[in-house]
Amino acid sequence: MAEDKKLFKGFSRRDLLKSLGGIPILGAVWFAGVNHDKKSKLERDFLLEKLNIKATPPPESGPMSGEPLRIGVIGFGIRGEQLMRSLGLATNEWLEEMAENERKNPNDMRLADFKAQESLNVKLSGICDIFDVRAENALRSFNTNDNTCKRYDTYLDMIHSGEIDAVIIATPDHWHAPMAQAAIEAGIHVYLEKPMTHTIAETYTLREACRKNPKAVFAVGHQHRQTQSFLTAMDALEKNTLGHVSLIMTTTNRNDDNGAWQYDIHPEASPETIDWNAFLGTAPQVPFNVEHFFRWRKWWAYGSGLSGDLLTHDYDRINCILKMGIPKYVTASGGIYTHRDGRNVPDVMHVNMEFPEFSTGGTQRESKENGMTLVYSATLGNQFERGTVLMGHDASMKLGNTLSIYADPRSTKYRDLIEEGRIDPNVPIFQYDPSAVSGVDAVTSATAKYFADKGLLWTYRDGKRVDSTFLHIREWLSCIRNGGEPSCGIQEGFEEAIAAHMAGLSYKIGRKIAWDEASESIIALPGEDLDAILLNNEV
Amino acid sequence: MNDKLNFNQIQLVSLVLLRILIGWHFLYEGVIKLYNPSWTAKGYLLSATYMEGFFGWLASDSMIAVTDTLNIAALIFVGVSLLLGFKSSWGSLIGIGLLLFYYLAHPPFPGYPLGPSEGSYWIINKNLIEAAALFVIFLFPTSSFVGIDRLFVKKEITPSTT
C-alpha cells in the first residue's frame, strides 16, 4: 500500500487522464465491433432460418470390403483411362508424366490427389480395345506379377469369360447399348458412359434387359449426381425457395479443338493395328478412316454431337434436381458454323424442352403458375461462361460447383423483406460453397460474396478437388456389394436418352417433337422411321 | 530514446491522435474477426498475387488455424497497445509487420492484378501508408506522455522530484 501511495504521489488528475484516457476509447471500439458482428450474425441467422436450406452431404456409399471385384474395361481411350484412374488404376506413363509435372510445379496436385484416393478394392482383370496400341498400353501397366489382366478380342468373349464381375463401358455411342445389353443379360454389372443409347429402339431394349435382370447393377456415368451443391439445390427447391420456376437456362461454352472433339490421331493407327470392322459394327460400312476412328463424336453414325455428348449432362443435372422426367415437346435448331471440317453433327445448337404440366411449386394465386421451359444453348466457338440458371418467380439460382440464390426484386415471397431492406436482390440470399470453412452462409455483404466467388471457388477446383467420377463409381460398386440403387440407373438413363434423341430428331427434321406419356413413345408421323432419321448422315 | 524526445503541444497532440486513429483501426478489425466464427484469412491468402507459395503455406489446412489466431491476436494487441499507450513501440513494429504481409499478398505493382478496391493504386496503397505512419509512431513515441506507459515513467521520476 505504501508503495502504491508512493507510486501515485505527484500524480494529478490530469496525469491520470493522460495515462488512462485510452481505456474508454478501447471500450467503445470493442463494443462497436462486438455489436456489429452480433447484428450481422442475427441477420444471417434470420435469413438461414427463414430459408432453412440444408447443405446436406451426399449419403456415403457403403463399405468396399470383401473379395476384390474383377473389373473389365471396354474402350481404353481418353474417357476409359480417366475412369480407370477413378477406380484407382493409372498407367505407368500417366504416373511418370504426373510425377514430372509435380517436379516442375509443386502446386500440381493431380498425382498427390490420385495417391490419396481411397482404395475401391477392385482389380482390373480384362481389357477390350480394338486399337492394339491402347490395349497393349493397358496390359503393360495392369498385367503385372500381382495382377493378371487379359486382353479379349471381343467384348462378348470378355463378358462370357466367367472371369469378370463387372464392366465399365467407354466406347463410341453406337456401341453403348449392344455391349451393355449383352453384359446385363449375362448377369454382369455395368457402368455405362453417357449417352445411354445411340438410337430410340435401343433405349427400350436396354431398359427391358435391365428389368429382366435386376441382379445386374446398372449405372449411367452422370457423375454430377454426386456433386454436393446439387443435393443442396434439391433441398432449396423442396423448400420452395425459388417459387415457380418457369425457365431454366443451361449452356455449353467451348472454344478449343479438344472441346470440338478434334482429338489427337495416333501415329501408329492403321488397318493393321485397328480392328475396323469391330469399330463399325452396325454403322454404315465405310473404308478405314482414322478420323472417324479417333474423332467419332463428329458423325451421327457413331456419336450424337452436342445433344448426345453435352446436352445429356445438362439435362441430367436438372433432372437430378427436379425429377421433371421426359419433356412433352422438344424443338431444336443449330448448324455447323464453327468447325466446317467434314463433320455432320452441329457445333452450335439450341434446344427448347417444354414441360407444360410441371411446376416446382408457386407462391402466388393457385393455378396462376404451371409449366416450365428448359433451354439448352451451346456453341463450340466461344467459351464465355454463361452458367446454369434456374429462374423462379421468387428467386434465381445460379448452379455450378457453388450455388447462389438471388431474390427476385418482384418476388411475392420476399416482398416484405426486400421492402424492409433486409434482402438486397443484388446480393445472394443464400450461397453454398463446399470448399468454404463453414460450408454454408447467407451472404450479407459484397465482400463476402467476392471471397466466396473468387478466392475459395477456384482454389477448391485447383486445390482440394473432390473427384465426382470417383464418388459415382464408388456408389455403383457399393450397390454391387451392399445392395441399393445407383442414383443414375436405368430409369434416369432412359429419360436422359429419350430427351437427347428428341433433341437430335427435332434438329434433323426441323419440327417440334412430341412425347406421348401414355404410350411411352415419341410421336412419329405415319410411315416415319425416327431411328433412320436420327442416324441419317446426309442431313 | 523515449525520454529524450521533447515535443511541443501541437506535435504531441498530432502524434497521439495518429497513434489513436491507427490503434482504433487495428482494434476494430481484430474484434470483428474475433467474434465472427466463420471468418478466415484463407480466401485472402489463397488469392495472393505475389509470394503465392508462402501465403499458400499460411493458408494450408495444417496452418490456417494458427494463421487466423495469430492474425487476430496481433491485430488486437496492436490496437490495444496503440490506443492505451502501452508497449507502443512493440505494437507499432508488429503492426508494420502485419501491414507488410497484407501489402505483399496483394501488392499494387504494375502488371499485377488488382482485386476490388475503393480507389486506384500504383505501387503505393493504404496498407503501405499505414505502415509508414506506424514507423513514425515507432520513431516518435508518445506513450510516456499520453498512455499507460506514463505510469511507469512517473514511477521512476517521482523519487527525484520529492
A82 plus A219 within the same structural domain: yes
Residues A450 and A478 in one domain: no
Which of B17, B31, B34 is the best substitution to test chain A (most A C-beta atoms within 10 A)? B31
Is the domain of A160 the same as that of A119?
yes
Give the domain range for residue A135: 69-224+470-489
Residue A43 lies inside a defined structural domain of this protein = no
Tell me the sheet residues that pair with A74. A128, A169
The nearest alpha carbon in chain A to B79 belongs to A26
Q: A425 and A517: one domain?
A: yes
Regarding whether A426 and A485 lie in a shared domain, the answer is no
Question: Which candidate in A19, A44, A109 is best for mutational testing of the B interface (most B CBs within 10 A)?
Answer: A19
For the cut 80, the answer to whether the pLDDT of residue A448 exceeds it is no
The pLDDT score that the predictor gives to residue A322 is: 95
Domain CATH for A218: 3.40.50.720
Alpha carbon of A36 to those of A255, A351, B35: distances in Å?
47, 49, 9
pLDDT above 90 covers a percentage of chain A that reads 68
Report the pLDDT value the prediction gives residue A453, as an integer from 0 to 100.
35
Same domain, A98 and A211: yes
With contacts defined as CB-CB under 8 Å, which chain A residues touch B79?
26, 29
pLDDT band with cut points at 50, 70 and 90 for residue B149: confident
| B36-84: pLDDT as tens digits | 877 888 878 888 889 989 998 998 888 989 999 999 999 999 999 999 9
> A92: part of which helix (H) or strand (E)?
helix A92-104
Residues A126 and A205 in one domain: yes
Distance from B139 to chain A by nearest Cα, in Å? Answer: 20
The alpha-carbon radius of gyration of chain A (Å, integer) is 28
pLDDT digits (tens, 9 = 90+) for B75-107: 999 999 999 999 999 999 999 999 999 999 989
Question: Cβ(A401)–Cβ(A460) under 8 Å?
Answer: yes
A529 found inside a domain: no
Write out the DSSP string of A355-419. ETT--S--SSSTTS---EEEEEEEESS------EEEEESSEEEEESSSEEEEE-TT-STTHHHHH
Q: Which pLDDT score, from 0 to 100, does residue A1 have?
A: 46
Q: Say if residue A300 is in the same domain as residue A359.
A: yes
Residues A399 and A330 in one domain: yes
Q: Is the pLDDT at A438 greater than 70, yes or no?
A: no
Is there a single domain that holds both residue A396 and residue A476? no
Instruction: Please give the grid coordinates belonging to residue A81.
Output: 483411362
- Residues A300, A155 share a domain: no
First to last CA, chain A: 103
Asked whether residue A299 is domain-assigned, the answer is yes
Report the alpha-carbon distance of residue A517 to residue A535 in Å, rounded: 24
Count the domains in chain A.
2
Q: Judge contact between B91 and B77, C-beta under 8 A.
A: yes
Let me know whether A294 and A388 are in one domain.
yes
CA B113 vs CA A219, A463, B47: distances in Å: 45, 21, 10
Residue in B31, B161, B162 closest to A33 by CB? B31
CATH number at A354 reads 3.30.360.10
> Does A376 map to a domain?
yes
Residue A144, C-alpha cell as written in the block: 503385372
| ipTM of predicted assembly, 2 dp | 0.88
Residues linked to residue A372 through DSSP beta bridges, in sequence order: A355
Residue A441, pLDDT above cutoff 60: no
Is residue A50, in this structure, part of any structural domain at all? no
- State yes or no: pLDDT of A21 exceeds 90: no
State mean pLDDT over A371-397.
Answer: 94
